[in-house]
Amino acid sequence: MMRKFFGMGLLSTQGEHHRKQRKLLNPVFSTAHMRVMAPTFHEIANKLQKAFLLKVNRSNGEAEIEVASWLTRTALELIGQAGFGYSFDALEEGTKEHPFAASLKDLSGATVNAAIMIARFHILPYVDLISPKAQRAIIDYLPWKQVQIIRDMVDIMTNTSMEIFEATKRSVMENGGLGRKDIMSVLVMANNVASEKDRIPQSELVAQISYYIPTFTLAAMDTTSNALSRIFHLLSQNPEVQEKLRTEICDALKDHGGDLDYDTLSSLPYLDAVCRETLRVHAPVPFLTREAKSDIVLPLEKSITSTDGRPLDSIFVPKGTIIMIGLLKCNTDPEIWGSDAHEWKPERWLSPLPDRVSEAHVPGIYSHLMTFLGGSRACIGFKFAQLEMKVVVSSLLQTFRFSPSGGKVIWEWNNVVQPTTEDAEIVANGKRKIQLPLKCTSTRPGDISAFSLE
């Protein structure tokens, strides 16, 4: 379905086609490029810090802030600036939401509508049999409001994608992209010098925006922002962990004398432990599905008994079978992580992990976890997500202390796990508005003027 919405982007291609796109994209998600992008991350996180400061200063050092929406806005601005050299949000109170951001945020909920899901599995497979022009004519003609809402969202995102691509292409043509470090500029320049067999057409470069922004945003705006919400919620509930982490960050700032660069952030053990443990116990996406592209025999780690009583150490999986992968189940398996597997304990990462963790040979690309998947289709942006989390946490925690607001927080499954509250407004399909209100207190209550932004 996503290929129909956004074209032949990274996550909608297969085989050699996918390999060629990934080869071109890999360098811009490398550690070396993250070092280059760190100042951009800090610039955006510092805007968020200032927005919070204004709220806290107006309330004499303490304010209740709905942090989930601010973290979502920050995540989108990070992918906009670092990914495409484009600003979606000034991160100021009262700023009008960018149409792209609104469409992107609403698309996920629009596509989980029951009727749309039925159409996805029973009608969409036959759509390729007619021309794109005919497909559009049918959608325009159908008196189906939900489909037309989705059509308009996709149109907004496609038009914004073309605007971003054309601006990037002009910059590269005029001055070779001099001074631009965003992912799209690097991608266009790399494509220009790539060999003929590795080069991808312009339509697919555009698709890396119109497809990759939504799909990468699932990691950057949705999954990572909600992982950040989870971190701040957990820190508000565990003040001793929060204080220990704040001390580590502030000590590093004293030694460093400015924003913490990529290597310094990566070297902070407790910050890393808090991020890893949160991604382990509270994976933003608890499970994913995959479709078998051919008949396979799937070996089992442990034998099972079939319905007719036979022991099985493998099962036959026919082509086309949808397989559900329990990411959270693997991350919290007591046989791998021990009897406290379901408990959030950042300290477990400060000592060598039990031998059984490495012996389990979990195929994930990150810390023996399946949070970012593994193999040739693992999340290409996991280093981006890690940097985003560490920059935002270090920026806010050095200045604010977070505590519960008093209302009960509920974490709901909406494609990703998102926070809301018992008294939240019902916005659509019986779902509550996403929100995480927390008390935000200045860490320097006797010196509020020091933070004045006037």
Q: 236 vs 146, 249, 293, 423, 441, CA distance in Å?
A: 39, 17, 45, 20, 11
Comparing C-alpha atoms, which of 99, 18, 110, 83 is closest to residue 219? Answer: 83
Please report where in the chains the tokens 């026919």 appear, as a residue: 318
What 8-state DSSP symbol labels residue 178?
A: T
Integer Cα distance of 155 and 150 in angstroms: 9
Integer Cα distance of 138 and 132 in angstroms: 10
379 is in an annotated binding site: yes
CB 349 within 8 A of CB 273: yes
Number of Cβ within 10 Å of residue 66's Cβ equals: 16
The three-state secondary structure class of 65 is: strand
Angle, alpha carbons 171-176-177 (nearest 5°): 50
The H or E element that residue 323 is part of is strand 322-326
User: Which tokens hold the place of 43?
Assistant: 């610039």
Phi and psi, residue 261, nearest 5°:
-75, 175
Phi and psi, residue 32, nearest 5°:
-60, -40
The three-state secondary structure class of 182 is: coil
Comparing C-alpha atoms, which of 38, 417, 8, 25 is closest to residue 218? Answer: 417
Look up residue 234 and give its amino acid: L
- For β-strands 426-428 and 311-317, DSSP reports them as unpaired
DSSP 253-309: HHHH-SS--HHHHHT-HHHHHHHHHHHHHT-SS-EEEEE-SS-EEEEEEEEEE-TTS
Integer Cα distance of 278 and 229 in angstroms: 10
H helix count then E strand count, the chain: 20, 11
Q: Which residues are annotated as a binding site for heme?
A: 379
